[in-house]
Every structure is written in structure tokens, then in C-alpha cells.
């Protein structure tokens, strides 16, 4: 029954508009009940995890039913009531790595129609030199009127535009039209019912897969570009014509017994690839740990051929055993980096673990405070959490406290590629100690970044004081290769773009950035401070009607029907409520 949602589907449209890397996507589905009796009709779609649902509406019998975003506590009562009546209240749940599921249903009278309309928004992040917009389609049957429209507008000009993903394979590929004209790009995907059965993962049930729109923008100045509108600005900074900075990297690898089997095999494979990719001017170290630590070498050494071959031999012989002492292992990695001269180079510490600390220091807060004190803001710490037995929030806050990020590595056949992919993102430091300065700017999002890597992008948004563009002067202070400290001043003639986008996009970018900043800080704060930040985040979520982990959407329905309450899950915890689902589903209700 779960998958009947597009049976009798008259229309299924996905409409994405991208401007300044900010996407707004509207999914419209129109369904008819052709039966002689009323019928429960389900709307069930998958959207990117990083997206924020901003609107949901149902049109039926001349009436409009709107979803309303409320504070979680406020929505909780309705939710609890629904559950106590034995009804499964509506939920948004995580599916796999990149998608989240949105599901609701409504009772449709005989021979009536219903239209569902879901809007979500997402800021695209540049990774490895490109932006990717993922569109997932799985209508569960061929649909007569199926259309995907993507429109991209980038003032800096679009450098390239590609369409990838399972839905671009076989005969389905013929249903794609792509047009690129300087600042604008269009992708149309209008497959016929027959074509909908022909792709790598399509069949009699129609399409099942992704359309991935890949593009990058032109960068004519090293200072990136500023888009300003209605007193707000967004600065995209991604210089590429810089020389790489040699790096000092230490890998701290968990070899506790829980890593046994495929995980440890994939870790070995990934490490060997990564070691091969080190530049000769890089220095590196390798530690494995369980309840004890094991060095390949006690100090960092240069990544010349001989050392790399010897380290690969060490990597081939990593075997699982014992418990997990994260504290001692990370502190040893920090010691190695601290003892290595850093002049003119960029240091990076990478931890890979699949579990919670079980020996040595096991108090999470004490581990975090030890690590923070040892690193003392000198270099970033990246934490890779392998699988779902890790306390991801612990790893995430530890990374954020040390200028890094945490990433989950999903247990799957391609885990070695995920590991390698993450490493590639940080493999080429171009700048360190980046400070973004905005004279005449206020209310800024994060402005300090410990390192900038080739292929990524720094995005800062803020307000222009008194909307005075004349006195507004953006500057970037950073250290580039050979330890030269550079001050870049953005010239107003180049790269400075005036209000060509709608102001709401600027507001949205601000909100998005605010939220990210706030969530980040939330992990690092405690007590009353945390409450204040949470309140601020909630106010923003409510102001812009975003469904976030702090808010819920209450979907009102025709009188007499239950009310759905949609919660956004937090990344991390697993709670299998969906029995009978084949897909791996995890979510938490806060």
C-alpha cells in the first residue's frame, strides 16, 4: 500500500530554479481517484537531506490546505495525540546517504482529484570544482505527464553544464534537452511513458533514480563575486589560480575489533590510494589504534617514493583487534603535528573511527576538551565516522571545535571511494588563516576559515550598513604559499555585481548560513548560551517557514481527517519504525 502513491497519477512535475547557487524546487503531483468510493491517496517523495522544506499545499475540491511551520514543542501535542489514537503521524525520514523522505496522505472522495505541491530550498555547496543539483524520481509507475524543468541563472556566467545520474542512461538520455547561454542554463527532461521504463534502474514500475545537474561558474577575478540586493550581500570566494601549499597530514586509523571484515579491508584500500596521491613535498604520519597506539613512524616524514612504499606496506598489514581509545590516539596525532615545523605549510589531522571510545578516557566531554587544548586552533581536525555505531554528534562537535568537519562514511561496497573522495576535498590547500573582512558590512555569517582547498568555496553573507554600497569594501586576508600574507581588496569594477537576483534569495542565503552557523555553535555551547542560540535559530526557522530539526510542519486536512505533523530527522540516530520497508530508514524525533 505504501507505494501506491502515484497510481492514477495524472501529472508529476519537478521544477527547479537556481540563482546564485541557491535552489528552489517545486514538486507538483496531481492524482485522480477514479473509484466509486473514497480512497486514501499518498504523496511520497524523496528530497535532498540538506534541503529545507519551506512550503507544502494540497488542493482539493476547490479548497487549499496549507502546511504550517510551528515550533517543535507546539506541534508535539498534535503529534502525540495522533500517535495515541494509533495513527502513524506524518514524518520526514532519512533514506540512505543523501535523501530524505517526505510522506503524507489524504482521503479523496470518489471521482475527485487532489494536487500536492511541495517546495524545498537548498544552497548548493561547491565540492571538487562543481555544484551538483540532485533530483530524485521514483513515481512507481510510468506517468503520462512527467516533466522536470531546471533553470539556472548565474551572473558570473556558467562555465559548464552536465547532466548525470541513473536517469540519464539508456533511452531515457534522449528525453533530456540541455541549453547553455552564458549566464543562463536550462535542462528539460520530458520522458515518454515508454522511455520511463528504460534506464539502468527503471522497469515496468517506471523510473527509479536520480538526475544530477552538474555545473560551475566562471571566476574571472581571484576575489570571487559579490551579489548585493536590498541591503544584503552574498560573497562567493573560490580562487583557483593559486599554488598549492605543501601539507602535513596525519592519519589516525581505528583498528578496533568492530572494524573487522569489509570495513578494515576498505580502509586499507583507501589508505593505499591516498598514500599514492600524496605530493612529494607533503609530509605525513600514520597511526593505528585500538586500546593502544601503533606508529608507522614516530615523526612526520616526507612523502617520497621510499617512505610512501613503506607506509603502504604498513597499511596492508592493518588488522582489527582490541578496544577503542580515541583520546590517546588523537592526542598522539596532535603531538606529531605540533612537533613538525609548520612554516609555509598547512597541517591537517584526519581521524577515522567506527565506534565510541571504550578504553582509556571514555568521557566524551573530557576527550573534546583535551583535544581542543592540544590543537589550540593551530590546524583543523576532520573526523570520519564509519557506519552507524559511531556517536556522530560527538565526532561532529569535536571537528567543529577544531575548524574541521565530520563526515559519515556509509558501510557499502564503495566505502573506500567515499574515504578517498573526502581526502581529495582537502588534498590541495591553497590558503590558510583566511579572514574575510567587510568594511561597511554587519551581521555577518562565519568569516574566519582555517584553510581553503582547491575546488571548494567560501561563502559569506551579511548586511551592508545603511545599504551604502559606496563605503562597502570587502577584503580577504590570507596566507598563501611560501608564507606570504596577502591582502586582497575586491575592486568594484570587477566581480562586484549589483542586484540582479531577487532579494528573497539573498535573505534565504542569509538564513541558510545563519542556520548552519547556529547549529555549529549549538554543539559547542552549553547552558543558557545554548538556549539563546537555539531560540534565535528557531525564530529564523519560523520566520522563513523552514522545517528544521527545531520546527515541524503541521499539515491541516479536510475536517474529520487526522492532522499530519512532519518532523525533520537529525542526522545520526537510527530508529527503525518503518517495518516492512526494504530501504534502510533511520530517524529520530526530537
Ligand X SMILES: *[C@@H]1O[C@H](CO)[C@@H](O)[C@H](O)[C@H]1NC(C)=O
Interface positions with ligand X (CB under 6 A): 13, 15, 129, 147, 149, 240, 243-244, 428, 435, 448, 454-455
Query: Going by C-beta distance under 8 Å and a sequence separation of 6 or more, which residues neighbour residue 306?
Result: none
The nearer residue to ligand X, 87 or 243, going by C-beta atoms, is: 243
CA dihedral 414, 419, 425, 431 (to 10 degrees): -170
The SS3 of residue 274 is helix
- What is the C-alpha to C-alpha distance for residues 124 and 340, in angstroms, rounded to an integer? 36
Q: Are 446 and 517 in contact (CB under 8 A)?
A: yes
The smaller minimum CB distance to ligand X, of residues 349 and 444, is found at 444
Report in angstroms how near the CB of residue 239 gets to ligand X at its nearest.
Answer: 10
Question: Which one, 345 or 428, has the nearer CB to ligand X?
Answer: 428
Least Å distance, CB 187 to ligand X, is 11
Largest CA distance in the chain: 79
The CB-of-128 to ligand X minimum distance in angstroms stands at: 8
Report the alpha-carbon angle 517-50-44, nearest 5. 145
Based on CB atoms, which residue is closest to ligand X, 281 or 539?
Answer: 281
Nearer to ligand X by Cβ, of 147 and 372: the residue is 147
Q: What are phi and psi of 64, to 5 degrees?
A: -115, 130
CB of 455 to ligand X, least distance (A): 5
Q: Tell the smallest beta-carbon distance from residue 393 to ligand X (Å).
A: 23
Kindly state the helix (H) or strand (E) to which residue 65 belongs, with its residue range.
strand 63-71
Across 454-562, the runs of DSSP E, i.e. the strands, are 458-464, 473-480, 484-489, 496-498, 551-555
Task: Write the burial class of residue 229 (CB in 10 Å: 0-12 exposed, 13-18 middle, 19+ buried).
Answer: buried
Nearer to ligand X, 13 or 378 (CB): 13
Q: Alpha helices, DSSP H only, in 110-149?
A: none
Smallest distance from ligand X to CB 297, Å? 27
Question: Residue 306 or residue 502: which is nearer to ligand X going by CB?
Answer: 502
Considering the complex, state which of residue 14 and residue 311 has its C-beta at the smaller distance from ligand X. 14
Torsion angle of C-alpha atoms 270, 274, 277, 278, degrees rounded to 10: -170
β-bridge pairing 225-229 and 496-498: parallel
User: Could you tell me the smallest distance in angstroms from the CB atom of residue 182 to ligand X?
Assistant: 20
Closer Cβ to ligand X, 426 or 550, answer by number: 426
- Least CB distance to ligand X at residue 119 (A): 12
Rounded least distance, CB 36 to ligand X, Å: 31
Q: Sort 336 into a burial class: Cβ within 10 Å, 0-12 / 13-18 / 19+.
A: buried
- What phi, psi does 264 have (nearest 5°)? -70, -35
Give the phi and the psi of residue 421 in degrees, each rounded to 5.
-60, -40
DSSP code of residue 259: G
How many whole angstroms separate alpha carbon 245 and alpha carbon 587?
41
Please report how close the Cβ of residue 146 comes to ligand X at its closest, in angstroms: 9
CB of 361 to ligand X, least distance (A): 28
- The dihedral of CA 124, 127, 133, 137: what is its sign? negative
Total number of residues shown for the chain: 590
Give the N- to C-terminal CA distance of the chain in Å, as an integer.
28
Q: Which is nearer to ligand X, 95 or 444 (CB)?
A: 444
Helix (H) or strand (E) holding 407: strand 406-409
Which is closer to ligand X, CB of 190 or CB of 581?
190
Amino acid at each position: 500500500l505504501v507505494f501506491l502513491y502515484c497510481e492514477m497519477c495524472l501529472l508529476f512535475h519537478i521544477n527547479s530554479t537556481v540563482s546564485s547557487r541557491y535552489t528552489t524546487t517545486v514538486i507538483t503531483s496531481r492524482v485522480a481517484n477514479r473509484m466509486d468510493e473514497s480512497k486514501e491517496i499518498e504523496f511520497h517523495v524523496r528530497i535532498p537531506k540538506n534541503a529545507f522544506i519551506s512550503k507544502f499545499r494540497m488542493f482539493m475540491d476547490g479548497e487549499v490546505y496549507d502546511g504550517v511551520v510551528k515550533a517543535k514543542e507546539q506541534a508535539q501535542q498534535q503529534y502525540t495525540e495522533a500517535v495515541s489514537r494509533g495513527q502513524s503521524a506524518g514524518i520526514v525520514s532519512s533514506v540512505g546517504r543523501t535523501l530524505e523522505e517526505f510522506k503524507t496522505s489524504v482521503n479523496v472522495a470518489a471521482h475527485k482529484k487532489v494536487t500536492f505541491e511541495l517546495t524545498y530550498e537548498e544552497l548548493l555547496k561547491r565540492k571538487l570544482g562543481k555544484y551538483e543539483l540532485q533530483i530524485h524520481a521514483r513515481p512507481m509507475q510510468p506517468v503520462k505527464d512527467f516533466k522536470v524543468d531546471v533553470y539556472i541563472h548565474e551572473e558570473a556566467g556558467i562555465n559548464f553544464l552536465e547532466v548525470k545520474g541513473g536517469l540519464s542512461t539508456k533511452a531515457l538520455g534522449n528525453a533530456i534537452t540541455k541549453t547553455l547561454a552564458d549566464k543562463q542554463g536550462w535542462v528539460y527532461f520530458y520522458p515518454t511513458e515508454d522511455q520511463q521504463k528504460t534506464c539502468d534502474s527503471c522497469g515496468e514500475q517506471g523510473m527509479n533514480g536520480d538526475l544530477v545537474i552538474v555545473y560551475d561558474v566562471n571566476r574571472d577575478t581571484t576575489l570571487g563575486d559579490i551579489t548585493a540586493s536590498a541591503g544584503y550581500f552574498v560573497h562567493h570566494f573560490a580562487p583557483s589560480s593559486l599554488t598549492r601549499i605543501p601539507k602535513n597530514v596525519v592519519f589516525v586509523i581505528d583498528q578496533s575489533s568492530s572494524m573487522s571484515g569489509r570495513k578494515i579491508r576498505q580502509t586499507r584500500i583507501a589508505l593505499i590510494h591516498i598514500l599514492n596521491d600524496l605530493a612529494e613535498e607533503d609530509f605525513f604520519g600514520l597511526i593505528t589504534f585500538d586500546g593502544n597506539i601503533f606508529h608507522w613512524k614516530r615523526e612526520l616524514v616526507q612523502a617520497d617514493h621510499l617512505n610512501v612504499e613503506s607506509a603502504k606496506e604498513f597499511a596492508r598489514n592493518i588488522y582489527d583487534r582490541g578496544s577503542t581509545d580515541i583520546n590517546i590516539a588523537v592526542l598522539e596525532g596532535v603531538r606529531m603535528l605540533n612537533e613538525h615545523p609548520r612554516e609555509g605549510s598547512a597541517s591537517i589531522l584526519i581521524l577515522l573511527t567506527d565506534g565510541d571510545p571504550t578504553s582509556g578516557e571514555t568521557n566524551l566531554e573530557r576527550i573534546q576538551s583535551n583535544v581542543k587544548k592540544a590543537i589550540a586552533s593551530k590546524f583543523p581536525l576532520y573526523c570520519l565516522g564509519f557506519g552507524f555505531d559511531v556517536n556522530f554528534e560527538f565526532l561532529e562537535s569535536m571537528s567543529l571545535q577544531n575548524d574541521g568537519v565530520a563526515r559519515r562514511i556509509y558501510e557499502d561496497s564503495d566505502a573506500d571511494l567515499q574515504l578517498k573522495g573526502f581526502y581529495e576535498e582537502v588534498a590541495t590547500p591553497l590558503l590558510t588563516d583566511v579572514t574575510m573582512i567587510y568594511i561597511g558590512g554587519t551581521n555577518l555569517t562565519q568569516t574566519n576559515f582555517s584553510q581553503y582547498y582547491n575546488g571548494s568555496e567560501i561563502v559569506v553573507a551579511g548586511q551592508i550598513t545603511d545599504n551604502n554600497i559606496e563605503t562597502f569594501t570587502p577584503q580577504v586576508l590570507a596566507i598563501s604559499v611560501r608564507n606570504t600574507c596577502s591582502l586582497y581588496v575586491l575592486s568594484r569594477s570587477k566581480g562586484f555585481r549589483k542586484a540582479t537576483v531577487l532579494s528573497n534569495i539573498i535573505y534565504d542565503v542569509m538564513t541558510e548560513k545563519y542556520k548552519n552557523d547556529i547549529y555549529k555553535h549549538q554543539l559547542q555551547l552549553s547552558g543558557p548560551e545554548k538556549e539563546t542560540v537555539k531560540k534565535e535559530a528557531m525564530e529564523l526557522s519560523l520566520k522563513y517557514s523552514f522545517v528544521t530539526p527545531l520546527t515541524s510542519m503541521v499539515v491541516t486536512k479536510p475536517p474529520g481527517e487526522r492532522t499530519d505533523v512532519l518532523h525533520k530527522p537529525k542526522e545520526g540516530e537510527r530508529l527503525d519504525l518503518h517495518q516492512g520497508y526494504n530501504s534502510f530508514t533511520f530517524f529520530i524525533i526530537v
